[in-house]
Amino acid sequence: MNSDQNKNCTHILILGGGSAGWLTASIIAAEHCSNSSEGVQITLVESPDVPTVGVGEGTWPTMRQTLRRIGLSEHTFFRECDASFKQGTQFCQWVDGAEDDVFYHPFTLPEGYLETDLHGYWQRRGLATSYAETFSPQISVCERALAPKQLVTPDYAAVVNYGYHFNVGKFGQLLQRHATEKLGVKHVLDHVSGVNSFDNGDIRSLSTRSNGELEADLFIDCSGSASFLLGQHFGVAWRDCRPILLNDRAVATQVPYRDAQAPITSTTVSTAQTNGWIWDIALPTRRGVGHVYSSELTSREQAERDLRKYIARDLGQESAEELEVRALQFEPGYRAYFWHRNCVAVGMSGGFIEPLEASALVLVELAAEMIRDELPRNRAMMDFVAREFNEKFLYRWERVIDFLKLHYVLSRREGEYWEAQRHPDSIPESLAQKLQLWRHRPPSLYDFDRVGEVFPSASYQYVLYGMGFHTEPRATAKASERDDVIERYIEEARRKTDQYLQALPSNRALIAHYLR
């Protein structure tokens, strides 16, 4: 029996919960009226006793628009998810390992970035302040652990751009309640035992232990690294990224505050180590800290010792030794394509690289939004949508890999791990070519001009010039005229910095206000 090519696509089945499954369900359901009889029916099925693995505790600013569109209030999100504000990433000891080796990748564009070449002026003048600090007031806001908005600023509005840190388990639970109670998503707790196909290879239904066969028109695979549908059933090939990005393991723990009123850091703090790097994410009640490393170049035991040594700087060695550490394993890579027949993979079932720069959840958002916006009317239209989807997401995965690799390529740290990360054979050709180009001009909108770029050209500039990359200055006839314009942007950044430092509350003060 073949599937009907002209049958309307009215029923979606999502396999797998967690933040990827429930976020995808919510994004589609909110737009396609799943809480009404005329809307698209969405069923999410997940095993009752297989724990979900979170895809990260950090988001990009896109999450604000996502939560707003699915109808969640920001106050509810903060109350339910132990959430805090994220305004970017602070990188410590990535360049040469010195104690004062620090740079920022903030979420706010540099002042005047879209109008002129800021970098050329900054490089010619040899300014004492960093590139990011010269043009972005957000650096000072982050250094003082200030919130990105005031107490009276409305939900999801911003003074400076921001995303979130949160408890990923609580986030999945909030989305589940919201999706089932407000958005009309049907929730089935059951074991999926098999996949049933039409003669043409499309999935007809999933067999479950207690609920029989669950039929649908479109199946979304959010089953995590198991990739039960796209990987196991359809056998779509896996592209291993370990030859490019070496990390495939992590050890992680939860760190209590010594003082319940300690400042809540405004950024993810990423600190380079001898054999990897450590993330440090501040939530209102605790910190999430983990060491990412390569199993080929160091042992779990050594990574755990380095993690406890890092934590001991704040807690003391005795308290650091008492913390329970869990081990995480991942295969860095992604599928050769993501939408096959009437099945599309979202989240870790489609790919995962590493936690650096928190790209996991934004890729879930982008995938769910494209499914929502391009939802095929019928099976005949589905192949056209799949072709566009695959092209866009292959491009996005390649750009994510380039951007993450950039951090390692620019490092001057010594040791086997860092030398292996910089080895020419491990650098993608696309990144190597851009680095050659950027020796002569800074990254620009021409390099990253697609709708929904995960990392725009400003992100590349923040990392490049934060890590000491040199672009040859270009002499032009209008240089002095532009210098006057850029000096006004620098003065505007200073003015905003003074204004923000006086007007913005601390992160902890604003979060406490939300919780009240």
User: Any idea what DSSP says for residue 432?
Assistant: H
Instruction: Determine the pLDDT at residue 238.
Output: 97
Q: What is the pTM of this model?
A: 0.96
pLDDT band at 254 (very low <50, low <70, confident <90, very high): very high
Instruction: Determine the pLDDT at residue 8.
Output: 85
Instruction: Determine the pLDDT at residue 127.
Output: 82
Answer yes or no: is pLDDT of 475 > 90: no
Instruction: Determine the pLDDT at residue 451.
Output: 85
Strands of the sheet containing 41-46, edge to edge, are 186-189, 41-46, 11-15, 218-221, 343-345, 339-340
pLDDT band at 405 (very low <50, low <70, confident <90, very high): very high
Residue with tokens 């086997």: 416
Answer yes or no: is pLDDT of 403 > 50: yes
Answer yes or no: is pLDDT of 277 > 80: yes
For the domain with range 11-57+167-241+332-396, which CATH number is right: 3.40.50.740, 3.30.420.40, 2.40.50.100, 3.50.50.60? 3.50.50.60
Answer yes or no: is pLDDT of 273 > 80: yes
pLDDT band at 192 (very low <50, low <70, confident <90, very high): very high
Share of the chain above pLDDT 70, in %: 97
Q: Are 156 and 65 in contact (CB under 8 A)?
A: yes
**Pairing state between β 88-92 and 268-273:** parallel
Nearest to 217 by CA among 98, 341, 129: 341
The better pLDDT of the pair 52, 12 is held by: 12
pLDDT tens per residue across span 120-150: 899 888 888 999 999 999 999 999 999 999 9
CA distance 405 to 425: 12
Q: Are 194 and 206 in contact (CB under 8 A)?
A: yes
Answer yes or no: is pLDDT of 55 > 50: no
Answer yes or no: is pLDDT of 53 > 60: no
Which region among 374-388, 472-486, 498-512 has the lowest average model confidence (pLDDT)?
A: 472-486
Q: State the average pLDDT for the chain.
A: 95
Share of the chain above pLDDT 90, in %: 90
Instruction: Determine the pLDDT at residue 479.
Output: 60
Please state the domain extents for the chain. Answer: 11-57+167-241+332-396, 249-329
User: Any idea what DSSP says for residue 294?
Assistant: -
